[in-house]
Chains A and B, each alone.
Chain A
Amino acid sequence: MSAIEQRFGPYGGRYVPETLIGALDELTEAWEATREDPEYVARLDALRRDYIGRPTPLYLAERLSRRVGSRVYLKREDLAHTGAHKINNALGQTLLAQRMGKARIIAETGAGQHGVATATACALLGLECIVYMGTEDIRRQAPNVERMKLLGAEVAPVDAGARTLKEATSAAIRDWVANVETTHYVIGSAVGPAPYPVLVRDLQRVIGDEAREQSLAAEGSLPRRVIACVGGGSNAIGIFAPFIDDAEVELIGVEAGGDGIETGRHGASLNAGTTGVLHGSLSAIVADEDGQILEAHSVSAGLDYPGTGPQHAHLRDTGRAAYFPMTDAGALGALGELARLEGIIPALESSHAIAWLLENALEGEGFDVLCLSGRGDKDLAEYVRRTSEA
């Protein structure tokens, strides 16, 4: 495997206080040494199989396919333990932290999925776990707060700014600056200073590796399109990664269009943002003319983030992947539609990708693979509230 990329084209880098540079160097070296270490790989593989429940199925959604008018397979990350792809990264990183001798784990969370996944992995490995969460998210996502506490984690409320994911991430980074010698920061998406975008991608790549193999087994060929939702972009980069060199496979990311790009209330940093620095890396972000990061807006807490991972910005620029916005209304509609067609309640995040597919059927031969990144139980209250308003 090649060395860990510090940048993707111009994007990425390490825009962090000097205090963290040593820890980022240490993490880079540790991941380079660990990611192919047979003992680590064997342990991770066993836990993926027996604990997470991997491989997750690649499911031919026949009724959805008929509705769309082309063949669609769903990569069922919603069936992974804790109900989303987040556990792939959390487990891999906490195993790495344990090897590095760091007994204290910190994480940030928005909707709580990454927080629950990290709390779960810490319970499994017996590590101390502190999860930073904005007080607005604590209010909106009470069941996940209870889950984290039940799993033995401390939920640290963050009362700054809009009190959501951006502030929780900043608070976690500040904790890391202060406790860097004893602590590992498990970042939840393919964002942050190098080596995090690579570390998270490598750990989420299992989604794409399985999907590629399962596609070949089911159809004898690769999919025409691979479709995923993009907030920070970890499920998307995970499923894209093994297909990047397959030029015939289109890679499509769907980001939060919120109330519509034209309203300015969105989380579409790749379609309607600018280039800048957020949480330690240069990438596509949403900021004002003075350089202040703006609040993102999305019905889905997981896409409610004013930035995207650096590799996505590069894939956009090179034209290797295409990114489209999808509105809140589209996502809410798609959630209901998939529930009725397939008996699967998708997360609002994944519903953005489904909504895009419903409007963009594949033409000609072949099939699509869509990453169903998580299950939607967590979103029921929001779904009911938003759809009864309309």
Chain B
Amino acid sequence: MIAGEQRIRAAFDAARDEGRAALMPYMMAGFPDRESGLAVAAAYADAGADLVELGVPYADPLADGPVIHSAATVALDNGATLRTALETCEAIADKVPVVLMVYTNMVLAHGGGSEFAKLARAAGASGAIIPDLPLGEDEGIREAFVAEGLAMVPLVAPTTTDERRAAICKVAKGFVYVVSTVGTTGERGELPPELADLVAATKADAGETPVAVGFGIGTPAHAAEVGKAADGVIIGSRLVRAADEGGSPGGAAESVAEFLAEARVALAG
């Protein structure tokens, strides 16, 4: 098992030992500004996140809905770059495993798979999610990341065929990311009834590899519901909104910590 994968697996194991799913908050690096982003990251690490999904701001994020897209735009307007995300990663990587969520073009712009993976490893990242690099397009980059010890986390969608899902799970490192609903990231009023079946099928394909669910989880109750079936629960847009509502670095940290505490209670319940 590669280094990043080991660390991610340990985080899932620790949560499972407590009888709950792993709590995996998402944040946008440099949002709304560099200091607030760092404060949110620190709050995640202190408020009991098992793993942090760290978004690298990108101007054309095809997998993201309005909340995260707009957060990326604000972060970029405030001067964020890949460097901002790597600094944020570095600040918390000792306390909690970090998985970068980064779009393909930024990987290519920073020298391609191998060079980018070296930068990510140097900042302490354990893995990466590249939402616009599906199976079949990812050969060079996936291999380069794994060679550098980074877990390459693939996504499975409700529209993924059974055959393809099995192939995706086979190459997954760290965990498999199940996209809960057909659509982009963002809070949903309710989760689709077919989700439980999708999670069960993915778990069967994934074997030992943990399965986490994201996209659309907006309340502690959603988190609890998803946590019954999945090994991990990813909360994104809801927390990005909370960070924005904080109004200051301290306020953002307080706001996300409050939501995370509720989610954690719900998951344990």
Contact check: which of A22, A166, A279 meets B160 at CB < 8 Å? A22
Q: Is A290 an interface residue (CB 8 A)?
A: yes
Decide if the interface of chain A is mainly helix, strand, loop or mixed. mixed
User: Could you tell me the distance between the alpha carbons of A287 and B108 in the complex, rounded to whole angstroms?
Assistant: 11
Which of B39-47, B178-186, B227-235 contacts the other chain? B178-186
Q: Which of A131-166 contact B (CB under 8 A)?
A: 160-161, 166
Distance, CA A130 to CA B45, complexed state (A): 44
For B48, list chain A residues within 8 Å (CB): none
List of B residues within 8 angstroms of A177 by Cβ: 62-63, 182-184
Give the interface size bracket for B toward A.
35 or more
Q: Specify the chain A residue showing the minimal Cβ separation from B186.
A: A178
B59 adjacent to A17 (CB under 8 Å): no
Within 8 A of A (CB), among B66-125: 69-70, 73, 76, 81-82, 103-110
Among A272-310, those with CB < 8 Å from B are: 274-280, 282, 285, 287-293
Write the chain B residue with the least CB distance to A291: B109
Asked whether any CB of chain B lies closer than 8 Å to the CB of A8, the reply is no
The answer to whether B109 touches A180, judged by C-beta atoms less than 8 angstroms apart, is no
**How far is A174 from B182 in the complex, measured between Cα atoms in Å?**
11
Cβ of A18 < 8 Å from any Cβ of B?
Answer: yes
B182 to A291, Cβ gap below 8 A?
Answer: no
Contact between B134 and A16, CB atoms less than 8 A apart: yes
Question: Could you say which of B154, B159, B183 contacts A22, with CB atoms under 8 Å apart?
Answer: B159
Q: CB of A376 within 8 A of chain B?
A: no
A13 at the interface (CB under 8 A from B): yes
B193 CB to closest chain A CB (Å) equals 16
Partner of A292, one of B58, B134, B160: B58
Report the bound CA distance from A137 to B179 in whole Å: 33
Given A180-B159, A289-B109, A161-B73 contact (CB < 8 Å): yes
A261 at the interface (CB under 8 A from B): no
Known: A18-B160, A276-B105. A178 touches B58 (CB 8 A): no
B250 shortest CB reach to chain A, Å: 29
Name the residue on A nearest B69 (C-beta): A160
Cβ B81 vs Cβ A19 within 8 A: no
- Closest chain A residue to B130, Cβ basis: A15
- Taking a contact as CB atoms under 8 Å apart, the answer to whether A13 and B137 are in contact is yes
Which residue of A has the minimal Cβ distance to B80? A290
List, in ascending order, chain B residues with CB within 8 A of A161's CB: 59, 73
Which residues, 11 to 56 on A, are CB-close (under 8 Å) to B?
13-23
Interface string of B155-196 (1 = CB under 8 A from A): 111111100100010000000000100111000000000000
* Complex: chain B residue closest to A276, CB-CB: B105
- Given A23-B159, A178-B183, residue A291 in contact with residue B108 (CB < 8 A): yes
Q: A residues touching B (Cβ–Cβ < 8 Å)?
A: 13-23, 160-161, 166, 170, 173-174, 177-181, 274-280, 282, 285, 287-293
Beyond the given A19-B159, A161-B73, please list 6 additional residue pairs across the A-B interface where CB-CB is below 8 A. A13-B137, A18-B159, A18-B168, A21-B159, A160-B69, A279-B62
Question: Which chain B residues have a beta carbon within 8 Å of chain A's beta carbons?
Answer: 58-60, 62-63, 65, 69-70, 73, 76, 81-82, 103-110, 131-137, 154-161, 164, 168, 179, 182-184
A-B contacts, 14 listed (Cβ < 8 Å) = A14-B134, A17-B184, A18-B160, A18-B179, A21-B157, A22-B161, A161-B59, A170-B62, A174-B184, A177-B182, A178-B183, A276-B105, A279-B62, A291-B82
